[in-house]
Amino acid sequence: MPVVLTIAGSDSGGGAGIQADLKTFEATGVFGTSAITCVTAQNPDAVTGVQALDPDMVKRQIAAVCAGFPVAAAKTGMLYSAGIVRAVAESLSEHPVGILVVDPVMVATSGARLLRDDAVSALRELILPRATVVTPNVPEAEVLAGCTIRTPADVRSSAARLAVEFRTAFVLKGGHMESGADVVDVLAEKDGRIFDFRTPRLNARETHGTGCTFSAALAAYLALGSSLPEAVGKAQSFVARALESAVPEGRHSPLAWKKAG
């Protein structure tokens, strides 16, 4: 069973972050490990508090996992501060992993900011060039590309431009593009190849945690030996099934990871 490491924030509501990643790892058949960057007080409605861990503690968690397990793949999520970004970059230099999926988490579904302004440049310089693949949604891609993305053509061109700029693959997720019957995710590889992945748009009550789940599933499928295009298609299908299987829990309808597996 491949070992996959998630480096991300904790979601007290259980729908995103470390909790979503570990549920996804379990459902996809890999062994999940974690390094927590921040503790958040949140549910799908709002983030009411963020407590960042000391960057040295983040490094210690990564080192402990890598010392104890043969980590086949890692993914990053909420990194929050420039200090944590630098700590993660240093850790990845000291403990290289063969596969790195970077989810450039910037804003929660509820609207809360999850990456400080001073951390964006550090993320661009220190983390993105190390990635096997980066998985921004449209708002995140707009920040990284410095342009407005409004049409499917914009999605394709922006994904291709980012892949060239950072010399790594990008999956630009189309869930925020509200037009059309399908959600289209675009994979641009650094060699110039572009792939479209389509899935019917669902009338989901909530989408909290879909980005985390997608990147975690992508890391898991890559660790299990899928090619990058195969892994993107499987990750897209995994998220769609998790949305379809969502069941009411109190006032919310969280993804159903177990049923999606």
Question: For residue 1, how many other CB atoms are within 10 A of its CB?
Answer: 10
Retrieve residue 193's tokens. Answer: 């190849």
User: Cα–Cα distance between 242 and 210 in angstroms, integer?
Assistant: 9
CA dihedral 118, 9, 244, 237 (to 10 degrees): 70
Q: Which residues are part of the catalytic machinery?
A: 173, 207, 209-212
Helix (H) or strand (E) holding 5: strand 3-11
Closest CA to 142 of 107, 94, 97, 101: 107
